[in-house]
Amino acid sequence: MELRQLKYFVATAETLNFSEAARNLCVTQSTLSQQIKQLENELGVELFQRDSHNVRLTESGEYILPSAKKTLFDADTCFTQIRDLRQMLAGELRVGITYSFAPIISDVLKDYTKEYPGIKLNIVYRNMEVILEMLKKRDLDCVLSFRPNKCDSEIESHRLFDDQLCAVMKADHPLAGKKILTFDDIKTQRLAMPSADTQARNVFESCFPGKVAELNVQVEMNAVYGLLDLVNTTQMISFLSEAATSKAKGVKTVPLDSPFVKMEGCVHLLKNTYRKRAIDEFIRILNQSNALILRANNWLK
């Protein structure tokens, strides 16, 4: 049994289409079929049921698929460790980032690619729920987001910095001079609200449970830059983390009158897996960035 044969088997099992799997692997369909047939002969079982219209996994195929995936993952981990020993001259780092982190990550990406030009950075911007699920599926190496409300037993979260939710408005907004905003202050204002799939929205609803329906919400959006643009060009108020507004010009942040505004910026890793050296270096550069230097919690030694 060869790793190549397992790779061909897994690719075909995921697509249930020999032609598509061959294209994805950049091999001919005859080569793919031959290698899978050799694997079936060695195992003494059929892995696929084939007819003129469909391809399906047999019971044996379904049984060994998880083990085949794990074997390929372990082999990839081995190769990754060897690459790390080569002083990070090659490799890939896959990072999931929530939209709230976008304003504080740009300098980190520039510094990282300058210091490690041989490492390809694959950056995915999605909401927190999506990228944490991608991390669990091993489609990402690490995730940058605020700490979720519920812990996941498969994920370990390391605090990078402390933050808080605040109201964000144009610098000349009538409420910009206030030291703190109550719910009564904001309920009559025009609001651009972070959408329900964001941690900023979750924290807001923890601050004022059941109160969103009483507000004058004119826009909902999961894009930080879009919310900041609306705030800067209208009299709308939004609610974002202080870190998310760190590079915004022409806006003012005002604290909210609630004990539940605290947020923790975190890096999330999958438990019990090998951690690439590339991840450690990415977090080191992040911790040393100007955006985090005042809030950094240097857990990474």
Query: What is the pLDDT, as a whole number, of residue 289?
Result: 84
Q: What is the CATH number of domain 3-83?
A: 1.10.10.10
Query: What is the pLDDT, as a whole number, of residue 297?
Result: 46
Domain ranges across the chain: 3-83, 91-161+264-287, 163-262
Please give the model's pTM, rounded to 2 decimal places: 0.69
CATH class of the domain whose range is 91-161+264-287: alpha beta
Query: What is the pLDDT, as a whole number, of residue 292?
Result: 73
Q: Is the dihedral of CA 222, 225, 230, 235 positive or negative?
A: positive
* Average pLDDT, 10 consecutive residues per value, the chain (301 residues): 90 91 92 91 91 87 92 86 73 90 86 91 92 94 92 92 93 94 95 91 94 94 90 95 85 94 93 88 88 56 38
For residue 44, give Cα distances in angstroms to 21, 37, 51, 55, 93: 23, 10, 20, 19, 39
Q: What is the CATH number of domain 163-262?
A: 3.40.190.290
Q: Confirm whether 3-83 and 91-161+264-287 share one CATH topology.
A: no
For residue 255, give Cα distances in angstroms to 180, 181, 210, 214, 279: 5, 6, 20, 20, 34
Query: What is the pLDDT, as a whole number, of residue 252?
Result: 94
